[in-house]
Structure 1
Amino acid sequence: MASLTLNNVKKRFGHVEVLKGIDIAIDDGDFLVLVGPSGCGKSTLLNMIAGLDSISDGEVSIGDVVINDLHPADRDIAMVFQSYALYPNMTVGQNISFGLEMRNVPKPERDRKINEVSSMLQIEHLLSRKPGQLSGGQRQRVAMGRALVRDPKIFLFDEPLSNLDAKLRVDMRTEIKRLHQRLSATIVYVTHDQIEAMTLATKIAVMKDGELQQLGSPAEVYDNPANTFVATFMGSPSMNLVDAKVIEADASRTVLQLEGFDGEHQSIAFDVGFADLAAYVGKTVSLGVRPEDITEQADGEGTLHCKVDVTEPTGADTYVITSLGGKEVVARMPANISLSAGDMAHLGFNPEKLVLFDTDSGNRIR
């Protein structure tokens, strides 16, 4: 395995720049997930690492070696595609061993590796079958086996679970996580599914319009999003964003004013100092709060008087939907919460978890 470094990597198609200077560095054994909406450039970036697409500017390095000009076959990378890309006329065993044959690996060594990988993926009983006889989940395991058997420096996964149904996606996600823990492999994984990103990654790179928005651990990206795009893209339900006027902000106390459900202004105070807010006193900022950080509390200066619009029981939780600042706000509460549509509730925010953004730039203040 090896580390991976992307240094100011750009991609242009004619005069159109689709990747605008990507800087990412991951260590040996990291699981990097590239996540973002369709068209943000994540698959293009993966193809450039693999050598399937050329690099317009910048450098891609594996370990200490710059691989910009290396042929894909010389990069020691294995790729698992969304479409599986199995040879239909070959058996499972032949599909897994094909790459080893092309590298003239002796048959006893090939057989040993096939047995080892098929046992790891629990597909020993499928080795004599052809891809047309397999389910989608079985085909994906075979595609993974073909990559694993090579023992490459880096594994690349291009939306490998997008063709599977919801239940199978969860199962395969667990299998990929288990494989990473067992192999300590260096993996780069592309998905548009932020749940997959949060579940699998040791590092997440959030992309939008060809630009890297944030690189960090799942906890960093979730708890301290760099901007409002990351805040709303990561998390399900996403982070609530509400306009709030800064009334007071010093080292020990913060007071914010929000528009209530009825259009009247309400204030919420915290005995916590948000020092970075001092320059925003009298100005409006965007207040971000995760649904799980909103709770029903006794009336006080740290609560807001809200009208419940809708409740959505999900089994483990109940989503309570209200409005603040003219925007819908979702709170994730215990399943047995005694609130119904039309009820009035006093809702409070966890001040340690609040994130505040500049309304003009969208960048995080605190």
Structure 2
Amino acid sequence: MGLLDISNVTKSYGAVEVLHSVDISVDEGEFLVLVGPSGCGKSTLLSMIAGLEGITSGEISIKGRTMNGVHPSKRNIAMVFQSYALYPNMTVGQNITFGLEMHGTPKPEREDAMNRVAEMLQIDNLLDRKPGQLSGGQRQRVAMGRALVRDPDVFLFDEPLSNLDAKLRVDMRTEIKKLHQSLGTTIVYVTHDQIEAMTLSTRIAVMNKGYVQQLGTPKEIYDTPSNVFVATFMGSPAMNVFPSRIVVKDGAPHAAVTGHDGVEQLLRFPQPNLAAWDGREILLGIRPETITDPEGADRNADHIASLRNHIGVTEPAGSDTFVTMTLGGRDAIARMRADVTVRAGEVFDFAVNMDKAVAFDPKTEERIQP
């Protein structure tokens, strides 16, 4: 049993079920990110944890206490909203301590908590200002301060960085990570941004169409996606997924891949059980960074396959060069070193790290387990 337990939870609006049998246990001190496209149910689930939405069936408990039907004010949770939700007529200090005041906390304790949190968030020089005098990043810090000052069991963040510009999002991401590491708080965080999910979390729940598609660490989600949706949603650029066929040669399974010219090339697949798929179609998943030039290939990899293919487009991106080619009739991207010499229109000998390749069943789109 974790600090927060979500057990077989569903949510329906009339006859329409929008969340389907969600089971997640969050341990104390964990940073769980709920990530997925718009409409996948992640914000609905967060609202159910907060008590802002009712539960159709199942159970949510915090510290072993069932929360079904418990008023939000009785749950000892703190929520940071996308819109900040600050009171415009109050100062920063008053916004931070308002919740404590409503709970009858004595003034000296309120001020001590406010000063501690304001110093931590580096907004102690803003305590006398009104929200209208603050930047977006400063307002977000105040909203976080209002949550932190309460010392709740669970912090809930609902897309808190989506209103900030790109650079400020990166800065605030770092601040939230630092806070979690220093305080050891339990956080459930909703975002549609998979970079936020990967960088902030200790575990990720990838959601789509009301289902949890996969629950795991960032490394598990990235390296061993459970299905094609997770593979292509997590990662930037996304994992290349294209049709292939298993061919057993010299007793070992190989992935038959067609390039721009339609000629099959065999890539040794280090997953022995795939020999049972001899002659059958699969979907082959390969991350862009595992397709590179021979000099840039991972020296620790056991299975580097050679792939000769035509370069369609090159995109220099400072620290990397992205190369687009055709594999299995689909566009595929290679992520290469910035100083590699590649030109559009030429034929190039790529190195593919097959240790990182993933096979999916084309009918179910689920990963074929080793």
Where on the TM-score scale, by shorter chain, does this alignment land: which range?
over 0.9
Q: Tell me which residue corresponds to 2:298.
A: none
**Match of residue 351, structure 1, among 337, 354, 359:** 354
1:341 aligns with 2:333: no
Equivalent-residue separation in structure 2 for 1:22 and 1:269 (angstroms): 38
Q: Tell me which residue corresponds to 2:260.
A: 261
Match runs of 1:77-88 below 5 Å = 77-88=77-88
Q: State the shift of 1:176 in Å.
A: 0.3
Q: State the shift of 1:267 in Å.
A: 2.1
Q: Tell me which residue corresponds to 1:92.
A: 92
Q: State the shift of 1:87 in Å.
A: 0.4
| SS in structure 2 of the partner of residue 179 of structure 1 | helix
1:313 aligns with 2:313: no
Contact kept? 2:255, 2:266, Cα under 8 Å: yes
Match runs of 1:109-188 below 5 Å = 109-188=109-188
TM score, norm. by length of structure 1: 0.96
**Match of residue 284, structure 2, among 268, 282, 287:** 287
Q: State the shift of 1:249 in Å.
A: 7.2
Equivalent-residue separation in structure 2 for 1:76 and 1:150 (angstroms): 8
Q: Report Cα offsets for 1:212-259 as digits up to 9, x if no partner.
A: 000000000000000000000000000001211101179x72222112
Distance 1:364 1:129, change over 3 A: same
Q: Tell me which residue corresponds to 2:293.
A: 296
Distance 1:193 1:142, change over 3 A: same
Give unmatched runs, 5+ long, in structure 2.
296-302
Contact kept? 2:305, 2:353, Cα under 8 Å: no
Give unmatched runs, 5+ long, in structure 1.
none
How many pairs were matched up?
361
1:328 aligns with 2:325: no
Contact kept? 2:304, 2:351, Cα under 8 Å: no
Q: Tell me which residue corresponds to 2:366.
A: 363
Report the more deviating stretch, 274-283 or 208-217.
Answer: 274-283
**Percent identity, aligned pairs only?**
60
| SS in structure 2 of the partner of residue 34 of structure 1 | strand
Q: Report Cα offsets for 1:184-212 as digits up to 9, x if no partner.
A: 00000000000000000000000000000
Contact kept? 2:121, 2:141, Cα under 8 Å: yes
Contact kept? 1:249, 1:275, Cα under 8 Å: no
Q: State the shift of 1:131 in Å.
A: 0.5
Equivalent-residue separation in structure 2 for 1:183 and 1:316 (angstroms): 34
TM score, norm. by length of structure 2: 0.95
Over aligned residue pairs, what C-alpha RMSD do you find?
Answer: 1.5
Q: State the shift of 1:301 in Å.
A: 9.6
Q: Report Cα offsets for 1:330-360 as digits up to 9, x if no partner.
A: 1111000100101111123212111110000
Contact kept? 1:267, 1:301, Cα under 8 Å: no
| SS in structure 2 of the partner of residue 246 of structure 1 | strand
1:5 aligns with 2:5: yes
